[in-house]
């Protein structure tokens, strides 16, 4: 069984009910809704289709709503501009117009205050590079460093520049309101710069009927600088290598990825490696050798999840992309992993109890670890400890809890009848269901994490069981 989870971005190529079903069959664990492009009516339909397709297959698929964030973009141009090195180009703000032909307005008014002479401006995913020569009033005069064609509404990156943008825009808040209404499982916060950005989102979602997990996206140098505090504050982390690879020197990107995964596994937070994993498969039916190795590296580092973006949202081979990730992950998992979890900082008794269960399962080469979990905490602790051989089955009371476990490495959630007074009944139901699905068979060994009545008190215990 594959332990690394697969996140698939839905878009024009995959938003139909039929394609969603095919993606689940191929191995999709979480569907990502990219709010930079998705319209609300489309999102409503996709959420309905995702849950219907998962229910029809008797499985659980998580839903991740990814906010657009405070993106800085150029304005509209009547025609695309061909820029050549050495040319002067002017950026304007606050609706100011420039008499120069080579100029464009920018949607961020405070750019004039945040940017300084000699700062580098990257436009359109870094394809066009400029250097700031001077600034005055609402004009920023730049020198073009690399050739390129500049179209309308292109994304701007400002490496090393501390911008004073809000963590949540008006659009983000409206999108999050929709996400809470639809009870999505995860909300990814774009362009997180410090821990207080996460606290701001948490205040928005805290009183929701179903509080989604907050995934902080690491996308710029300021986030890397504040990485530890961001990881501690968030429920999960995404290494968003698209913007991150533009904002930071490219040779630093593998170091940042590895440091982020290591820190998440030290602190027990789920981590996603995202962007450009199979970029060539947007147009080609097979991956490059470099992409295969990149995916394998993320799996070897034991990231909780790997993610498809344009490959599945607009690509020609979305189902094949999921199949490629599935195939690579299964093979690499059999060869072992980096085991960064061995430096886990366990601070709570429940975490240490679960570690003892995982150690027992590793020693026994148990066919399964069963965790009876009410809110999902104990199951996530088991995932954190990265068991070497045993898949983790989380026995949940509700579908809500099961769906929030779809991101956790190695966990297969299962909803079973719950008995709070007699956990043994819950375990028996879970074992019966797993035998029926073919996950367990007579004679298998399972390690069980559950509660047990001792007198009038319920205590957490670890059991070793032979399946009858």
Which whole-number Å values give the CA distances from 58 to 25, 51, 186, 296, in the listed order?
Answer: 11, 10, 21, 29
pLDDT value for 308: 98
Active site residue 32: yes
User: pTM for the complete prediction?
Assistant: 0.95
CATH 1.10.540.10 fits 5-70+167-333, yes or no: no
Which whole-number Å values give the CA distances from 259 to 50, 151, 216, 238, 272, in the listed order?
Answer: 33, 36, 15, 13, 13
CA angle 161, 163, 166 (to 5 degrees): 155
Active site residue 373: no
Active site residue 129: no
Active site residue 92: no
Catalytic residue of the set 2, 3, 5, 32: 32
pLDDT value for 422: 84
Q: Are 72 and 158 in contact (CB under 8 A)?
A: yes
For the segment 374-383, what is each residue's pLDDT rounded down to a tens digit? 999 999 999 9
Within 10 angstroms of residue 116's Cβ, the number of other Cβ atoms is 10
Total count of residues recorded for the chain: 468
Pick the CATH number of 81-157 from 3.30.1600.10, 1.20.1270.10, 3.40.640.10, 2.40.33.10: 2.40.33.10
Q: Are 440 and 462 in contact (CB under 8 A)?
A: no
Domain map of the chain by residue range? 5-70+167-333, 81-157, 346-466
Catalytic residue of the set 275, 373, 406, 450: 275
Topology of 346-466 in CATH?
Pyruvate Kinase; Chain: A, domain 1 (3.40.1380)
Catalytic residue of the set 22, 73, 266, 327: 73
For the segment 394-404, what is each residue's pLDDT rounded down to a tens digit? 999 999 999 99
For the segment 437-468, what is each residue's pLDDT rounded down to a tens digit? 999 999 999 999 997 766 667 788 999 999 99
Catalytic residue of the set 129, 217, 355, 380: 217
Over residues 161-169, the mean pLDDT reads 90
């Amino acid at each position: 069984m594959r332990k690394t989870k697969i996140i698939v971005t839905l878009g024009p190529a995959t938003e139909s009910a039929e394609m969603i079903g095919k993606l689940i069959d191929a191995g999709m664990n979480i569907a990502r809704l990219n709010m930079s492009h998705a319209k609300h009516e489309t999102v409503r339909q996709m959420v309905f289709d995702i849950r219907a397709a998962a229910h029809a297959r008797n499985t659980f698929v998580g839903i991740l709503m990814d906010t657009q964030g405070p993106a800085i973009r150029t304005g509209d141009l009547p025609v695309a501009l061909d820029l050549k090195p050495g040319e002067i180009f002017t950026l304007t703000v606050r609706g100011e117009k420039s008499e120069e032909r080579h100029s464009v307005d920018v949607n961020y008014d405070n750019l004039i205050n945040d940017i300084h002479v000699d700062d580098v401006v990257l436009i359109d995913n870094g394809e066009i590079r400029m250097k700031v020569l001077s600034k005055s009033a609402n004009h920023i005069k730049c020198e073009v460093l690399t050739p390129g064609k500049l179209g309308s509404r292109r994304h701007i990156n400002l490496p090393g520049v501390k911008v004073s943008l809000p963590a949540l825009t008006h659009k983000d808040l409206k999108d999050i309101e929709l996400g809470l209404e639809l009870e999505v499982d995860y909300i990814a916060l774009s362009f997180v710069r410090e821990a207080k950005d996460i606290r701001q989102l948490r205040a928005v979602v805290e009183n929701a009927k179903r509080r989604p997990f907050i995934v902080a996206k690491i996308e710029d140098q300021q986030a890397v600088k504040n990485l530890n505090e961001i990881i501690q504050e968030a429920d999960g982390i995404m290494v968003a290598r698209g913007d991150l690879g533009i904002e930071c020197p490219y040779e630093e990107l593998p170091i940042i990825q590895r440091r982020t995964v290591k820190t998440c596994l030290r602190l027990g937070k789920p981590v996603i490696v995202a962007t450009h994993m199979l970029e060539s498969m947007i147009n080609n039916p097979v991956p490059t050798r470099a992409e295969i190795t990149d995916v394998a590296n993320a799996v070897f580092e034991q990231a909780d999840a790997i993610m498809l973006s344009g490959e599945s949202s607009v690509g020609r081979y979305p189902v094949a992309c999921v199949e490629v990730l599935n195939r690579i992950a299964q093979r690499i998992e059999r060869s072992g992993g980096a085991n960064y979890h061995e430096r886990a900082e366990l601070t709570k008794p429940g975490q240490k109890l679960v570690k003892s269960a995982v150690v027992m399962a590793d020693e026994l080469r148990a066919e399964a670890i069963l965790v009876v979990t009410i809110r999902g905490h104990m199951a996530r602790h088991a995932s954190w400890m990265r068991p070497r051989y045993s898949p983790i089955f989380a026995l949940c009371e509700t579908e809500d809890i099961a769906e929030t476990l779809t991101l956790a490495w190695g966990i297969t959630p299962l909803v079973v009848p719950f008995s709070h007074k007699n956990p043994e009944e819950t375990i028996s139901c879970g074992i019966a269901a797993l035998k029926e699905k073919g996950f367990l068979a007579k004679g298998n060994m399972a390690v069980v994490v559950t509660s047990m009545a001792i007198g009038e008190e319920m205590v957490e215990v670890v059991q070793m069981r032979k399946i009858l």
